Amino acid sequence: MDIRQLRYFLAIANSGQISIAAKKLHMSQPPLSQQIRQMENELGVMLFERKRNGRRIELTNAGKILYDKAENFLNSFDETLLEVREAGEGIRGTISIGTVLSCVSHLPEKIKSFNKHYPNVSFKLFGSDQSDLSLLLENRTIDLAIVRLPLQMENLSVVPLTKEPYVFVISKDTKGFTSKDFISIKEIENFPLLLIHRIKGEGIYERILKEFQRHDVEPNILVECPDVNILLTLITEGIGGSILPKSSVPPILLKEVQVLDIIDIPLQSETVLVYLKERYLSKASQRFIELF
């Protein structure tokens, strides 16, 4: 068995069909099937079993064991190759970074500064929900992620970035609020709320609801959404208000929205940079982390 066969095996396992895997690998189906049969003959076990429809295949128990081991082995192998290459090439390559959209303000200055010192390094950016970023980290699709606590993931190295208050954000055209700099949770009670809600796991949404409960206030929730940019668009149209981290409101929007401090909610947003503890990070990624 060799590295190439393990990659073939993982491609089939992830695709669920040999025909789809063959297309992704840019090869015809018969040679791919032959490689898998050779692996099964060498190991003396069946790695896949066909479902009743004859097209989809699933891993056997033996295949599931090999899948976990092969995935870890190939990740380690690829990271070792990267480390060896970097010993001779210096700092170059691509850094893949994921960020929740409300944290994107942490990146422009750092990328600009990094590019001046390391012009041979490029970036791939992924903006997504926190749960999606966790999967991208686990799959090694991204090297780093900028997220907000709490996290539903273990085995991470965590670099604290900032702490900031949550504020109430409304349209500048909202009547009765134009002369105010702060607001109480009781005043928000009947206002249509547009709240950030993670796709998976607990986050600020649940913490905000607990604050309403603590003050014996029933919130009027109109919209739940994981994308802060969508919420800000709705706010500028006067549809409602939102409780957001202060930095998630870009300066360009301050002409259209009003930001009010909430006097009786002690919520703080904690932004952190995270990466997997057990993986090798490229020199470029290590240098980028040092900027923070």
Domain shared by 171 and 254, yes or no: yes
153 and 276 part of one domain: yes
At 44-66, the pLDDT tens digits run 898 888 776 667 888 888 888 89
Tally of domains in the chain: 3
Same domain, 78 and 119: no
CB 168 within 8 A of CB 186: no
Residue appearing with tokens 């057990």: 278
Q: Tell me, what amino acid is at 213?
A: Q
| CATH number for the domain harbouring residue 14 | 1.10.10.10
Domain boundary among the residues 87, 117, 139 is at: 87
pTM for this prediction: 0.67
Could you report the per-residue pLDDT of 85-120, keeping only the tens digit for each?
665 556 778 999 999 988 988 999 999 999 998 888
Are 64 and 145 found together in one domain?
A: no
Q: Are residues 154 and 191 in the same domain?
A: no
Length of the chain in residues, anyone? 292
Same domain, 22 and 57: yes
Joined tokens for residue 228: 């802060």
Q: Are residues 196 and 109 in the same domain?
A: no
- 147 lies in the same domain as 275: yes
Domain hosting residue 224, numbered range: 164-269
57 with 138, same domain?
Answer: no
124-171 pLDDT per residue, tens: 999 988 888 998 998 889 999 999 988 878 889 999 999 999 999 999
pLDDT of residue 18: 86
DSSP annotation of 167 reads E
pLDDT, one tens digit per residue, over 179-194 is: 678 899 999 988 999 9
* 97, 99, 103, 107 alpha-carbon torsion, rounded to 10°: 20
Type of residue found at 274: V
